Structures are given as C-alpha cells and as structure tokens.
Structure 1
Amino acid sequence: METNQTPPKKDFRAWLKRLGWAGFFFFLIKGLLWLIVPYLIAKGFF
C-alpha cells in the first residue's frame, strides 16, 4: 500500500496559516519563558 505524504514544509505552512500570528507569538513567548525562567531560578533571581 502506498501512502501519499505531503512535504513537511507544506504542512508547516498550512499549520502556521491556520494558527495565525497570535498563536505563533504565544508559542514563541512560551518557548522563551521555558528557557529564561529556569535560568533565573538557578541564578537565584526568584
């Protein structure tokens, strides 16, 4: 059986268009916080 898979780049663009800019920035900020908060905790900032 043969499966037709679309290229990952096309899937990503469709996903991004469906999610919109608000979703993109939400996940961008969330990802940055996942990096920054543990760093600040380790430095004793919190």
Structure 2
Amino acid sequence: LLLSGYRYRRANKSQIIWRCCRNDCAGRVRFDGTGYIKVTDHLHAPNPEET
C-alpha cells in the first residue's frame, strides 16, 4: 500500500491494519471500509520517490 509518501505492508491477513515497511517505524493505518485512518505516527519523513 502506498499512501501519502509512505509504503505500508499488511500487519495481518485481514487487510484492515497496515504497518510501515520500515521495521524501525511504528507508523500504522487502518482501513475502515471507506478510507484509511492514521493510527500511529511515523518516526521518519515521507519518501515521495517511493510513491
């Protein structure tokens, strides 16, 4: 998942919670059925080159 300059991977098989691809980052988003909601802030700046 690419969102707002950040790259995410599934945190579980349900595809509801997505976590930042960087292992040292706590960034998380949740999909509520209509859109993505930020759960936890990232520990780094976004990388627009990845999107």
> What TM-score, normalized to structure 1?
0.18
Specify which structure has the higher proportion of helix.
Answer: 1
More strand by share: 2
- Higher Cα radius of gyration: 1
TM-score, length basis structure 2: 0.18
